[in-house]
Amino acid sequence: MSELLQIRNIRKSFDTHEKRLLVLDGISFDVREGEFISILGPSGCGKSTLLRIIAGLEKQDEGEVLLRGKRIKGPGQDRAMVFQDYALFPWRTVLGNVLFGLEIRKIPKKEALEKAIRFIKLVGLEGFEKSYPHELSGGMRQRVALARALVCEPEILLMDEPLSALDAQTRNLMQVELVRIWNETKKTIIYVTHNIEEAVYMADRIAVLSRRPAKLLDLVEVNLERPRDRFSKEFIDLRARIFRLIQG
């Protein structure tokens, strides 16, 4: 796998009421093409900030993010974001929500419809095209959000704790689904979470961040065969190792 993204010495602070808050303290790592990489770290350490910088929604103070060698200066169609709270349009149906990005891009109606239906099927929502978000469960809403991001065919999917609003069982099921969808679409996924088990279950590699100001503690390779067994010794050992790493 070749390097798709290069994250180089990212520093970022925010001006709060009286003081300057250093959030990211020189973060560097590469993201390989087609990999599932997780950014893991304690709450408030700066994971969302880092993801927003990669998305081009936030500007770093120092450092740069290169996408195929070109510096990221703002949002682009090569990257799509999936948020924790789904951010669906309540007045649009499942199909309407998935079609949205294609309408903005002025994709011809017939082509857009075919695409939307294909991605609704991919995320397992066939038969719910005409449902409204309030008629869906949390897991189903997250599937809609995923289809809406995927339908625009970005190279990179940026996901910020997309499953954290779900109950534990639905969350596990959605992790399995996400790995399947990643396998089928061959997208590069950058997945932010503070949940160690989630990262170990899904990711090829885990960028482990420290407490704020966040530094990269380690880039952990998860050499476990998929589908992964959450109760295997190797799985539990890796969880423990990462837990200790973050605890310091």
Ligand X SMILES: Nc1ncnc2c1ncn2[C@@H]1O[C@H](COP(=O)(O)OP(=O)(O)OP(=O)(O)O)[C@@H](O)[C@H]1O
Interaction partner, residue 210 (Mg ion, ligand X, none; CB < 5-8 Å by kind): none
Q: DSSP class of residue 69? A: T
- CB nearer ligand X, residue 41 or residue 154: 41
Interaction partner, residue 79 (Mg ion, ligand X, none; CB < 5-8 Å by kind): none
Nearest approach, Cβ of residue 26 and ligand X (Å): 15
Nearest approach, Cβ of residue 222 and ligand X (Å): 20
Interaction partner, residue 97 (Mg ion, ligand X, none; CB < 5-8 Å by kind): none
- CB nearer ligand X, residue 48 or residue 188: 48
From the CB of residue 62, how many other CB atoms can be counted at a distance below 10 Å? 12
Sequence-distant (6+) residues with CB within 8 A of 228 are: 200, 201, 235
Per CB under 5 A, contacts with Mg ion among 47-66 are 48
Write the single-letter amino acid at 126: E
Q: Are 189 and 33 in contact (CB under 8 A)?
A: no
From the CB of residue 247, how many other CB atoms can be counted at a distance below 10 Å? 8
Distance of alpha carbon 170 from alpha carbon 123, whole angstroms: 14
- CB nearer ligand X, residue 69 or residue 74: 74
Interaction partner, residue 44 (Mg ion, ligand X, none; CB < 5-8 Å by kind): ligand X
- CB nearer ligand X, residue 93 or residue 195: 195
| DSSP codes of every residue in 114-169 | HHHHHHHHHTT-TT-TT--GGGS-HHHHHHHHHHHHHTT--SEEEEESTTTTS-HH
Nearest approach, Cβ of residue 183 and Mg ion (Å): 26
- CB nearer ligand X, residue 194 or residue 205: 194
Nearest approach, Cβ of residue 48 and ligand X (Å): 3
